[in-house]
Structures are given as C-alpha cells and as structure tokens.
Copies of this chain bind each other. A is one copy, B any other.
Amino acid sequence: MKIPLPKINISRINIIQPKRTDKPGQVPGTFFIADTALPSKIFVYSYNANDLHELETDEIKEAVAFTEKYPDNSNWIDVKGLGSQDVLNYIQKKFNINTLVMEDVVHTHQRPKIEDHNHFYFVVSRMMELDKGLQLKNEQLSFLLFQNLIISFQEDYDDVLDPVRNRLRKNVNGNIRNLGPSYMLYALMDTVIDHYFTIVNRLGDELETVEDHLYQKPRKLLMYRIQGVKKLMVSMRRAAWAERDKLNDIIRSNNNLINPAIIIFMRDAYDHSIQIIDLIESMRENATSLLDLYLSLMSNKMNEVMKTLTIISAIFIPLTFIAGVYGMNFAYQDPKTGKVLTDNMPELYMPNGYVYVIVVMVVIALAQVWYFAKRGWFRE
C-alpha cells in the first residue's frame, strides 16, 4: 500500500569547516590572520540585575572603555569577525593574554577545550548550523572569561546565539542578569550544544524519510543521502565528545572565576552533551543499518531482474532450438539421383507433424513453468 512519501531534499550534503592552513614550523606564539577573515564588529553588553547598556562599534578601545564605565556591572564583549589585527592585538595587550591563546582564537580549527590561565579561562566551543540544503557550517566560538567580563569571538556575523541576547534583554533580574559572566559563559555554551539537538533531529528526520522511500523504491539518490548523513555524524561526534570533555573539565575546575552556583547548570549542560553523543551513536548505527538495507534491496532487485531473464530465456531457448531443427533444409530427394531420402526429416511430411511439434513445445514450456513455480521463482 503506497502512502504519499515526504519529499527528499536533493542538494548535496556537505561540511563547511575551517582547515588548518598555517604552515608547519611557523613561529609558535605568533598569530597571523587568514586573508578571508571578516573585519571585526564589536557588540558590548554591560549589565546588572536592573540595567542593561548596549554598544555597537568597530573600535575595541571604545568597547573596553564602555565596560569600564560601569565598574560593578558584568560585561560581555561580543566580537564578530576575526579579520581586524588591531582588535586582537589590543585585547592581547590589555588583558595580558598568552600569544598561544590568541593563535588558537584565529586558527579556527581547534577542538572544544578549556584552558585555565589563572587570571582568565580560555574556552573553545564548536558552533554548528545546518542550512536548508543540509550544508553543515562548523564555526569556532572562543571565549575569554575574566572576573567581570567575558569576551566572545566568532568567525561570522551570523550565529545561533540570539536567544541568549533576547533573554539578556528581557529577563530583568533573572539568573542571566544576576550570576555574572560565568553564567553568561554557561548560557552561550548551552545554547550552542542545544542547537546540536536541532541538527541531529533534522538529520534523524532525513533518515526516516529516506527509510520510508527505501521501503517503497530503493534508488541511488537515497544511498547518497545516507552517506551524507553519516559524514555529518562523524563530524558532529568529534565535536560532541570534545564538548563533553570540556564540560567535565569545567565542573572539576577550582578556579574562582566560575561562580559555584553555576556548577549545577554546567552539570545540566554536561548531561545534554552526553545525550547528544548517545543520540549520534544510535543514529549512526541506524544509518549503517539503512545502508545495509539499501544494499540488500538492490541485490533483491537484481535477483528479480535475473529471474525474469532466466525464466524467459530458459523457456524460449529450447523451443527456438526445436523450431530451428525443423527449419533445416535436409532434402527429401537427392537432387542428382532423384532418390528419395526417407530418413531426412520424415516428420515434415507427416499429416500432423506441425501440430505434434506445437504440442511438444507447449508441454516443454508448461513443464518449465511448473518447475520454476515449484522452486518458488514466481513468489516475491
């Protein structure tokens, strides 16, 4: 029974991911900005339980000055685009950041990790986004967490963090306003991980659509889809495992930069990362099963084709042979001597020879059909 199938997306599944491009042997501890990096836009949020001040600027000096205006506030400097060397240099100098850290900020192929540098934490998250055509964008989101300040760096102007910004604006006197930059760190990281669920669920839906199609008409396109989903899964699993390790490290860290009241939230994020890994693993197994299913179905189809060929050939080839025999021109008379050659195909001159032959042919054909039916070749 055919039910209408959901449409299959036919665009190519792909990953857009930064590659490590720096030359080996480059002076460690210096950082060069990629040519393709976007110029930085800076957004500053200075907030406490009651007030929120925002600033958008291109000048890092201005941004830092803005945060210093409200010494008791928590501050978030949101740097979008890593293309402005002066912004990065100023931050490095101003906040006394190790060059290795700045290097990791701009070489955007880092695994999620946390590094404790005493006066600050350096944290890396992988921010993933799946566009409509199932292209996976795998971007780096880095954080520098200080006592009253968190600085975030991202490659693109777009991100998945707007829900956090909205909460910050609307949620007067909520946790996000009261618990300082380490809560902000949690909120940002958790939003990133939560977005993994959205992606995995979309991929899961894709797999289910593919499965429905497979059961009705297996075809090459479906295999491409499954392979594509598996490729994304491999990529996401790498990120998710590292997220898990990072959150585990945070939960166990002792640095007083993290507000102890936040550990319980971090544990929740940790649980999410475990759930995501779990989900990805079972989805990968399902994808593998679907591939096996595809292959079995293709080989079933092949069997069916072969059986059709075999049945038709096997029935007609012997019959054609018989027709061929009675198409031979063995002579009734020797043309030279006129002697009748009675042994040469006397069947041809029998009154009912033709009828007999046709009957024999029908019997042979029926015997074969019966044999094939008994073997079950007509079933399934």
List residues of chain A with CB under 8 Å of any chain B CB: 19-20, 22-29, 98, 100, 109-111, 113, 160-164, 166-167, 171, 174-176, 186-187, 190-191, 194-195, 197-198, 201, 204, 215, 217, 219-220, 223-224, 227, 230-231, 234-235, 238, 264-265, 268, 271, 274-275, 278, 281-282, 285-286, 289, 291-310, 312-314, 316-321, 323-336, 339-341, 343-345, 347-355, 357, 375-377, 379-380
- With known contacts A25-B162, A327-B323, A336-B349, A303–B300 Cβ distance under 8 A: no
A295 to B335, CA, bound (A): 61
- With known contacts A286-B231, A300-B298, A327-B328, A164–B25 Cβ distance under 8 A: yes
| Residues of B close to A29: CB separation below 8 A | 175, 265
A309 touches B310 (CB 8 A): yes
A271 to chain B, nearest CB (A): 7
A234 to B288, CA, bound (A): 12
B323 touches A328 (CB 8 A): yes
B111 touches A271 (CB 8 A): yes
16 more contacts with CB within 8 A, not counting A304-B375, A343-B355, are A24-B194, A24-B195, A28-B186, A28-B265, A238-B278, A302-B302, A309-B314, A316-B321, A319-B321, A321-B323, A323-B327, A327-B327, A328-B348, A336-B349, A341-B349, A343-B352
